């Protein structure tokens, strides 16, 4: 097992407006910048092997603020991006329901596998997130890591750590700039050994 600190990016204007951001490259707002500073302060004093971040602006900026406080560099990895919401990006729930009713209903009935037009499912984002974290922990031999990413992407990590179904990921989305400590077990150690 490896210790990880999961940090969701700070607040953006689209968070306030409840718009689906996904891969849209929105910046932090003033509150988000202040939240990132608080997240950084909460991590001071710990020893970390590396800081990995999504390459999207809101996560990258959050990670850079943390890295400055810790005297570290940020390693960017696009696998840590939020789920791609495709045609839903920039829209609020009411607009999505009006424009894409069949896709919205599919999401309600199968939240793990449904995907918006041109986007990803929760299952898709979980697979890329989990593969990235398995790789990072192998690279750093169980040393503590900081992972800066996005709400639903980090929720899929919490599902694996907490043993929750991916269909329930949306209930595990962390608050903006919240630093959450978890113990990560690589998939190869979770699978039963064939005899």
Catalytic positions: 9, 82
Instruction: Give the tokens for residue 28.
Output: 């932090």
List pLDDT tens digits, range 62-121: 999 999 999 999 999 999 999 999 999 999 999 999 999 999 999 999 999 999 999 999
pTM of the model: 0.94
Q: Write down all domains in the chain, each with its CATH number in brackets.
A: 2-190 (3.40.50.1240)
At residue 169's C-alpha, the angle toward residues 81 and 107, to 5°, is 90
Instruction: Give the tokens for residue 47.
Output: 């020893």
Contact, 80 vs 147, CB < 8 A?
A: yes
Instruction: Give the tokens for residue 95.
Output: 């607009």
pLDDT at res. 190:
58
Nearest by Cα to 152 from 127, 110, 122, 108: 122
Task: State the greatest distance between any 2 C-alpha atoms of the chain, in Å, as a whole number.
Answer: 56
What percent of the chain has a predicted confidence (pLDDT) above 70? 96
For 192, which DSSP code? P
List pLDDT tens digits, range 52-66: 999 999 999 999 999
Mean pLDDT of the chain: 95
Give the pLDDT band (50/70/90) at residue 51.
Answer: very high
pLDDT at res. 194:
44
SS (H, E, C) 4-39: EEEEECCCEHHHHHCCCCCCCCCCECHHHHHHHHHH
Counted residue by residue, the chain has a size of 195
What value does the mean pLDDT take over residues 129-147?
Answer: 95
């Amino acid at each position: 097992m490896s210790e990880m600190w999961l940090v969701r990016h700070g607040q953006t204007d689209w968070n306030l407006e409840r718009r689906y951001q996904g891969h849209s490259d929105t910046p932090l707002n003033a509150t988000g910048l202040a939240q990132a500073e608080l997240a950084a302060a909460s991590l001071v004093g710990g020893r970390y092997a590396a800081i990995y971040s999504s390459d999207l602006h809101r996560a990258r900026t959050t990670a850079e603020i943390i890295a400055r406080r810790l005297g570290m560099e940020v390693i960017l990895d696009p696998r840590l991006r939020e789920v791609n919401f495709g045609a839903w990006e920039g829209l609020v729930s009411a607009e999505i329901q009006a424009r894409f009713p069949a896709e919205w209903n599919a999401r309600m009935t199968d939240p793990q596998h449904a995907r918006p037009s041109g986007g990803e499912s929760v299952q898709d984002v979980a697979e890329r997130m989990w593969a990235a974290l398995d790789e990072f922990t192998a690279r750093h031999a169980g040393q503590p890591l900081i992972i800066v990413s996005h709400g639903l992407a980090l929720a899929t990590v919490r599902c694996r750590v907490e043993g929750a179904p991916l269909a329930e990921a949306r209930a595990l989305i962390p608050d903006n700039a919240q630093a959450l400590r978890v113990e990560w077990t690589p998939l190869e150690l979770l699978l039963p050994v064939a005899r």
